[in-house]
């Protein structure tokens, strides 16, 4: 529910409403043809830096980054057990794809995939919380509890009562932010959920569940020794000529240190306008800052953008906005490495058309170039200077309707 006055809401709607002369789209040019990677590993020259199309260079904290990966999809058992850095994974949980993916057996299988991968940062898409189609469960919490049983405390009647995200809280707590971000924190790690929309935000709700406490969106799991330092949720554009919930100046303010309560409340109001006012299904970016064992803080942006060719213009607007968000987080201050990962619902060549303008480089995605192979939508992109090693398309083995999960090790 918005706290805005009608005049303030109307002013924001005017800013986000597309104008015929301000259409947001990439300059037309032929998409680069996909080329097979080298026989064994993708090497550094597989990641071609693109021109910078924004004011000032994006910080490059490591000018001699290392990039390696596998040229064919891998079974999770084939991933190296000794990690070169923080192992990260992006997995579409297929909550909206059918009842078979919402079963307890399948959630356990998804948890096993994560455990076998050794990932300590996991980005989930298609996350239901209190939605009838998924048994009124928190689907990401069900999976993470299978990885770390300490999260089971949040599933029963003795679950701690939620507190404000800025309030003092014990090590095990639920913390909620006005912007739609919720933290489930334990001594062993934190699960962060980010609301894209709730059941009462749009006609038809979420598969006809119109409850205000029923939400759909993304989630990011951060396990020790990595540590969550900040999290927030930003609504993406809902029209091809529109913008996201924060202007360029507001994105810069969000990226400048920790969010203030006032900034988070303003983000709530902006998010609500887009959740309720758009004609397309609302989508969001879940931003988490994570401090690794090396003491360096990095930003992980977890996204799920519009699907289908008919929504290409909308998807392009969302991708451009995500790139602007990544650029803001990279600049800080302090300057940070940034990882964008999730379900991008299109080919890496189309994503490159937009992300490349902002200096983002692909770590996972594409195909191995074989006949009949399809592009993987589950991709990982980073700012220049991030080491990405053992990058792989990991076979999901039927635990998702997506054939692969994106995996890499960052440092």
Q: Do 191 and 177 meet the contact criterion of CB atoms below 8 Å apart?
A: no
Please tell me whether the peptide bond between 259 and the residue prior to it is cis, using omega within 30 degrees of 0.
no
Between CA 174 and CA 186 the distance in angstroms is 9
Between CA 6 and CA 15 the distance in angstroms is 14
This prediction has a pTM of 0.86
Question: What angle is formed at CA 345 by the lines to CA 232 and CA 28, rounded to 5 degrees?
Answer: 105
Please tell me whether the peptide bond between 173 and the residue prior to it is cis, using omega within 30 degrees of 0.
no
State the average pLDDT for the chain: 87
Q: Give pLDDT tens digits for 236-281.
A: 999 998 999 999 999 999 999 999 999 999 999 999 999 998 789 9
The pair of structure tokens assigned to 357 is: 């303008």
Q: Which of 243, 375, 239 is nearest to 311 (CA)?
A: 239
Q: Give pLDDT tens digits for 290-310.
A: 999 989 999 999 999 999 999
pLDDT score, position 257: 95
Between CA 220 and CA 284 the distance in angstroms is 13
Model confidence at 362: pLDDT above 50: yes
Q: Which domains does the chain have, with CATH numbers?
A: 46-410 (3.60.10.10)
Between CA 235 and CA 195 the distance in angstroms is 9
- Mean pLDDT, residues 113-125: 98
Q: Which of 162, 143, 132, 168 is nearest to 91 (CA)?
A: 143
Q: Give pLDDT tens digits for 161-186.
A: 999 999 999 999 999 999 999 999 99
Model confidence at 3: pLDDT above 90: no
Q: Between 41 and 82, whose confidence is greater? A: 82
Query: Looking at residue 188, what DSSP letter applies?
Result: T
- Poorest-pLDDT segment among 43-47, 254-258, 332-336, 344-348: 43-47
pLDDT score, position 156: 87
Q: Is 136 exposed, middle or buried (0-12, 13-18, 19+ CB in 10 A)?
A: middle
- Mean pLDDT, residues 375-402: 95
- Mean pLDDT, residues 55-71: 74
- Poorest-pLDDT segment among 94-108, 185-199, 263-277, 373-387: 373-387
Between CA 289 and CA 228 the distance in angstroms is 6
- Mean pLDDT, residues 42-70: 54
- Alpha-carbon distance values, 275 to 18, 45, 244, 245 (Å): 16, 41, 11, 10
The pair of structure tokens assigned to 393 is: 């398309």
pLDDT score, position 366: 80
For the chain, give the percent of residues with pLDDT over 70: 83
Between CA 102 and CA 99 the distance in angstroms is 5
Work out the number of other CB atoms within 10 angstroms of the CB of residue 47. 18
pLDDT score, position 71: 84
**Secondary structure string (H, E, C) spanning 340-372:** EEEECCCCHHHHHHHHHHHCCEEEEEECCCCCC
């Amino acid at each position: 529910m918005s706290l805005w006055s009608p005049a303030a809401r109307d002013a924001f709607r005017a800013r986000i409403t597309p104008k015929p002369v301000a259409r947001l789209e990439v300059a037309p040019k032929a998409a680069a043809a996909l080329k097979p990677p080298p026989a064994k590993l993708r090497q550094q020259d597989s990641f071609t830096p693109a021109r910078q199309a924004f004011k000032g260079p994006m910080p490059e904290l490591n000018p001699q980054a290392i990039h390696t990966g596998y040229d064919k999809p891998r079974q999770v058992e084939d991933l190296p057990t000794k990690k070169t850095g923080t192992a990260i994974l992006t997995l579409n949980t297929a909550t909206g794809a059918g009842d078979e993916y919402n079963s307890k057996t399948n959630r356990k299988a998804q948890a096993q995939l994560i455990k076998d991968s050794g990932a300590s940062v996991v980005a989930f898409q298609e996350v239901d919380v209190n939605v009838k189609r998924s048994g009124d469960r928190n689907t990401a919490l069900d999976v993470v509890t299978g990885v770390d049983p300490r999260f089971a405390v949040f599933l029963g009647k003795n679950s701690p009562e939620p507190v404000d995200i800025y309030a003092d809280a014990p090590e095990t707590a639920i913390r909620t932010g006005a912007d739609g971000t919720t933290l489930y924190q334990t001594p062993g790690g934190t699960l962060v959920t980010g609301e894209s929309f709730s059941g009462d935000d749009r006609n038809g709700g979420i598969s006809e569940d119109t409850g205000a406490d029923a939400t759909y969106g993304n989630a990011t799991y951060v396990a020790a020794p990595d540590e969550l330092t900040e999290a927030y949720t930003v609504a993406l554009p809902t029209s091809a000529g529109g913008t996201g919930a924060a202007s360029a100046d507001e994105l810069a303010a969000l990226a400048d240190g920790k969010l203030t309560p006032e900034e988070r409340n303003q983000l709530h109001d902006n998010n609500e306008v887009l959740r309720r006012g758009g004609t397309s299904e609302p989508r969001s970016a879940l931003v988490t800052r994570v401090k690794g064992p090396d003491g360096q803080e990095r930003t992980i942006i977890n996204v799920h953008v519009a699907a289908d060719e008919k929504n290409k213009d909308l998807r392009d607007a969302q991708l451009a906005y995500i790139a602007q968000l990544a650029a803001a987080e990279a600049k800080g201050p302090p300057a940070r490495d940034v990882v964008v990962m999730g379900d991008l619902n299109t080919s890496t060549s189309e994503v490159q058309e937009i992300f490349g303008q902002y200096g983002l480089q692909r770590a996972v995605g594409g195909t191995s170039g074989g006949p009949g192979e399809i592009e993987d939508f589950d991709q990982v992109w980073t700012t220049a200077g991030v080491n990405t090693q053992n990058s792989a398309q990991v076979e999901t083995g039927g635990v998702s309707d997506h054939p692969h999960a994106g995996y890499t090790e960052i440092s």
